[in-house]
Structure formats: structure tokens, C-alpha cells
Structure 1
Amino acid sequence: MLKIIKNRFEQGCKTSEYPKKPISLYRRYRGMPVINGQCSEEIVDRCAALCPQDAINSEEKSIDLGRCVFCGQCEAEGDGEFVRFSTNFELGSASRKALVTTGEMPDLADHSRRHFKKLFGRSLQLRQVSAAGCNSCEADTNVLNTPFFDLSRFGIDFVASPRHADGIHVTGPVSRNMKQALLATYEAVPSPKVVIASGSCAISGGPFYGSDEIVGDLNSLIPVDLYIPGCPPHPLTTLHALLKFFKQ
């Protein structure tokens, strides 16, 4: 016992102080895009042609974060003249429309104050549903349960049964084989309930966009309350979205 106590004092607290203190990610992380609206149309057209997800609208000079997989090809084209990715991980949105951005996002906390804080402000239980995901989104979600993030300290937990949940957290493009299982899980969650679409696959189909084997748009099946873009979303992106949407 004394060795355990000694070891605890030597190691100190491993849990991040975020959100009380800001946290900076490594410079190679691709977060919120910074878009140059004055960029020449030639470069914008080249970037749009390179985008594997058709996420760039060359006329509006915007990027659809719901489709974007943050591959960075648009940043490499023209040496970032049109797009460069910042290290800002605050990408969550309560609206699918707001994910089509020119570099700014609406405040999630304002939406939560008007809709969800009174319902889920003290405790939030979520059922994770992997609807044919590649396991990247699922792995980065599981990281939130490690001592560094310690999601439970905020009163947010992932539970085993949808009947014990306040909502579902969906990852993956929703394959045809997973469609019925997803709908059954959604129906099993007692009302009022929330739906979170996490990752570009759940939001738009991601790399599988346009395939007949997937649904690709979770909102076309069930109403989505919170969108968390990324491929996969960084754990801090998910944490920020959950805290802003349900707690602040």
C-alpha cells in the first residue's frame, strides 16, 4: 500500500486540465480550415478538382466539413494560398448547414442553452453505435475514457444498453447491413433522446460517399442533433462538442 501511495505522488495527476486551461495541438494537426476569400479563382478551381470528396465549392469559396476528410491536398495546392488548416479543434456543429464554412462556426453553447442543457446538463449517458465504421472514429472515442481525458468527470459516460442511454453516438457510413440494427437501437432509447453523428462517414458517407451500399447520411434516417466532423474526429474535437453542447 505504501508503495502505491508513493508511486501516486511521484506520478502526479495525469488528467488534462482542459477545458479550464487551453490546450495546443501539434502543428501538423489539421483542424478548422482558414480560407482566403481573395484567392484567385484558378487556384480555387484546382483545389476543388483535387478534392476526393467534392467538399470544396469553388463559387462560394467554402468547404463542407461534413464531407472533408482533412487529407490536406487543397492546402498543398498553391502552398496554402486558398486553404490552410489551423490547429483549432473546435469543429462541432448543431446544424448540417453550418458545416459548410468559409472558416467560422456558430457557437454551440448558445444552441445548448436554448435546447438541451436543462435536459442533460448534469448527466449524459450515450450508447455508441459503430455502423460499419473502420474503427478509427471508435478508437479515438474510446481514448476519452483514458485517465488523460477522463470523460466521466464531466458526468458523461458510454453505456452498454440503449435503454439506459440518453442518446446514441453514431460512427460509420451506416451500411445496408447495419441500417436495421441502428434503427432498433435508436427506438430502444427512451425519449427525450439525442443523436450524435461523429465523423465524416456518419455525416456524409466519407470516403464511401455515393456508394449504393451505404446510407451515408445519418440525418436521412433519424434526426441528428449534433455533428462532429473529422476523419476521424480528434478526441478533443469530440470532448469540446459534448461539453459545449450539453454542459456550457
Structure 2
Amino acid sequence: MLNLLMKIVRTGRVTEHHDSGTTIPPRFRGKVAWKDSQCRSCEICREACPTGAIAFSNGQLVVDNNACIFCGRCSEVCEHNALGHTAEYQLAVLRDHLSEKIKATLKRSLHIRHVDAGSCNACDWEMTALNNPVYDLQQYGIDFVASPRHADMIMVTGVVTRNLTQALTMTYEAVPAPKLVMAVGACAASGKVFGNSYAIRGAADTIVPVDIYVPGCPPRPAALIYGLLLALDRLGGNHK
């Protein structure tokens, strides 16, 4: 026991705080940046995008972050170096007119029920990391619960499959009102990653009303924490 205590003292704090900055790996791909001055509107990037996340409107490039899987294909095929990935991962967005619902829901600690609606498990692994000593989600008063009847929020991962549509619907109905729903990752946020299939119903918001979208394939644990804190309105003036 003494050796364990000494090891803890030597190790010190390992938990990251959201406002202290997060170390980004050198090869990390975040939000797509577009250089207007270098773009020739050839639209090769749009054709190369596997999920249709890139579009052009009035000569301006528009990226649907919910559908983007940050694969890097757009920047690879661009001959004019007009596209590139940044290190920005704080891409979570809230649906409009959520303030009153959030105030009514989140007067206390936030309890979450996870629903895998048909994911590849990549997002699920990132969510699991939220409870490790590095991210330590409980430091924010947020915890996962086993029953939807004890939850304030549902975090949905994966494109919604036909086989799991009923499970998602029943879980949503079991959560006491008012309740929030977060779509985690490009599959749940856009439903475009796997295309059209008889086995797929689509994005999470085609089945249940979604309040928070966290893009990524998969999103980093820090990106998930950003989305949760954005919903909790605990970011002060840091959020965009």
C-alpha cells in the first residue's frame, strides 16, 4: 500500500483539463481549411469526397463537418494546395433554440446513456476513453448510467440500422423528459458514411430529435468533452 501511495505521489496529476489545452498528435486531421485565393473551382475535391461532404455554392467551398470523415482525400487530389486539414477538433454544434431545454435538463450532474445504433465501434472506443484517468469525465459531474430511466442524455453512435431502430426509439422513450440527444461521429450525425442500403435507416436525427452534433470519424475524446461542456454552457467565452 505504501509503495502504491508513493507511486501516485511521484506520478502526479495525469488528468487533462479542457481549458488547459490538449496535445494534438502531429498527423492529426481536424477541420478542413480552404484557401480562396488558391482555389480554381475545379471541383475535383468534391468528386473525391467519399461522403459528399464538400459542395460549392456561388464559387465558395462549403464543408459539411457532420459528414466529413477527415480522410484527407480532398487535400490529396487538390493540385493547387487550396485545401488542408487543421488541428481544430472543437467542431460540436448545438441545435438552435436549445437554451431553455438545457436549463431545464441540466440543473444537476449530467447522466448519459450510450446507444450503439450500428457503429463500427471506433466512436465507442473513444467514448470509453472518457472514463480513463487522462480525460476523467467525472471531474465535470458527468457520468454514464446503465438504465435510460436514470439518464438525462442519450449519446448515439453509428448509422442507425433497421435492426437497431426499435432499440434506439425505446431508449429515447424511456429517458425522462426533458432529455437531450447527442449524435456522436459522422455516421450518427450525417448517415452518409455507409451510403444507401436496405439495412440502413440513416442518421440519428431521422429517428429521434438530435440536439448536439459532434463530427469526426471517430471524434477525439477531447472533442466529445467539448460538445458536452458546450451543452452544459461551461465553456465561458472560449466557445465559438
TM-score (norm 1): 0.87
Q: CA 1:231–1:138 in 2, change beyond 3 Å: closer, same or farther?
A: same
Distance 1:200 1:2 in 2: 47
Give the drift of 1:63: 0.8
Assess if the C-alpha contact under 8 Å between 2:188 and 2:203 holds in 1: yes
In structure 1, what is the equivalent of residue 115 of structure 2?
A: 129
In structure 2, what is the equivalent of residue 209 of structure 1?
A: 195
Structural RMSD (CA): 1.8
Gaps of 5+ in 2: 235-240
Within the alignment, does 1:193 sit opposite 2:193 as a pair?
no
Give the drift of 1:23: 1.9
Within the alignment, does 1:179 sit opposite 2:178 as a pair?
no
Distance 1:114 1:22 in 2: 30
Distance 2:61 2:151 in 1: 40
Aligned match for 1:158, one of 144, 153, 163: 144
What percentage of residue pairs aligned between the two structures are identical?
39
Residue-pair matches, total: 231
Assess if the C-alpha contact under 8 Å between 1:208 and 1:216 holds in 2: no
Which is richer in strand? 2
Distance 1:80 1:147 in 2: 43
Distance 2:31 2:107 in 1: 27
Assess if the C-alpha contact under 8 Å between 1:129 and 1:171 holds in 2: yes
Q: SS where residue 7 of structure 2 aligns?
A: helix
Range 171-180 or range 54-63, more displaced:
54-63
Q: How does 1:1-248 map to 2 (within 5 A)?
A: 1-16=1-16, 18-38=17-37, 39-42=39-42, 45-59=43-57, 60-78=60-78, 81-95=81-95, 115-117=101-103, 119-248=105-234
Q: SS where residue 183 of structure 1 aligns?
A: helix
Letter in 1 for 2:19: K
Distance 1:82 1:115 in 2: 40
Assess if the C-alpha contact under 8 Å between 1:132 and 1:173 holds in 2: yes
Assess if the C-alpha contact under 8 Å between 1:203 and 1:217 holds in 2: yes
Letter in 2 for 1:7: K
Give the drift of 1:55: 1.0
Distance 2:188 2:204 in 1: 6
Gaps of 5+ in 1: 97-110
Q: SS where residue 33 of structure 2 aligns?
A: strand
Distance 1:115 1:159 in 2: 21
Assess if the C-alpha contact under 8 Å between 1:68 and 1:206 holds in 2: no
Give the drift of 1:161: 0.3
Give the drift of 1:27: 2.5
Give the drift of 1:220: 1.6
Distance 1:173 1:132 in 2: 6
Distance 1:94 1:117 in 2: 14
Assess if the C-alpha contact under 8 Å between 1:133 and 1:173 holds in 2: yes
Distance 2:193 2:203 in 1: 13
Assess if the C-alpha contact under 8 Å between 2:117 and 2:156 holds in 1: yes
TM-score (norm 2): 0.90
Q: CA 1:51–1:20 in 2, change beyond 3 Å: closer, same or farther?
A: closer
Distance 1:152 1:41 in 2: 47
The runs of 4+ residues in structure 1 deviating greater than 3 Å are: 111-115
